[in-house]
Copies of this chain bind each other. A is one copy, B any other.
């Protein structure tokens, strides 16, 4: 590859002049010299070497982005987070527009900090983007501790002050429940995640908001929790079917498409027809959910906008500008398909 020396030689100037012209800094260069340099650079196809530039400016223009560790094919978020691949795509694209690239890496899920530490100490990246943060997240704690630049898709311990963007699960589920209410439902149940799930609790809160605002009762047994599996959906539905018919929910909200699928499967097994006898709302708009029978109504996370907001935030941080906002919530989009209908005249069979 040609270097700046080659351009200088071609143009008959010094390397300093070449650098001046190419970096269009405030240094005055005569039009004729500028032309000669540009022409020479173009002719030999010169592009500044990124490594050298980075060494000089002590930056890397690389943002570290971690993958979840080995797909535990049946574990929460292992194989079944339908969001993160596209999120990474949008992140990469937004980063490029800001002049950065994504460096992807993996880490042992039980002990992430050494991997982050190594990347920091070897000067591999300028910043990190975190996903899948949990309450009391060790990565957040570590990076805060090291005062190393990062932004996070997702919240963590509320008392910690750090930059994040998150889906407003509370507003999303609230909108979903309101949609069901507008359809005429009054007996609406929800299947959430276990109590230690941050986003699960936000989504659950959205359910409570909507029910309360509409003055609707939330009987015992309407709020169920389960892990992020299809089976948890089946089990929850079975529980609801054990209630007397006139007390059973006519609509069910979930915190994930996977659990919604479990509900739909168990409903079919028990002869309950979703999209006629029962309404179901998912969360995520996973691929394929549109081809379910019935097609699943769900809440789509605005991952494109989230990625963009995160990069904007990170750019400000890296440029040491005061970021406009440091915590932003983005409402999901309600994707209306076929799984929600007005409640049947009578209770579930």
Contact = CB atoms under 8 A, between A and B. Distances in A.
Interface residues of A, number: 54
Given A62-B103, A101-B103, A288-B261, A123 B49 contact: yes
B261 A1 contact: no
A148 to B, nearest CB: 11
Listed residue (A51, A102, A104, A106) with the most chain B CB atoms within 10 angstroms of its CB: A51
Contact of A268 (B1, B51, B103, B293): B293
Interface in A80-103: 80, 82, 84-86, 88-89, 92-93, 96, 101-103
A127 interface: no
Interface in A97-153: 101-106, 118, 120-124
A275 interface: no
Contacts of A123: 1, 49-51
Interface of A: 1, 45-52, 54-55, 58, 60, 62, 65, 67-68, 70-71, 79-80, 82, 84-86, 88-89, 92-93, 96, 101-106, 118, 120-124, 230, 258, 261-262, 265, 268, 286-289, 291, 293
Given A67-B92, A286-B288, A288-B289, 10 more contacts: A48-B122, A50-B122, A50-B123, A67-B88, A68-B89, A89-B106, A101-B105, A101-B124, A102-B105, A268-B293
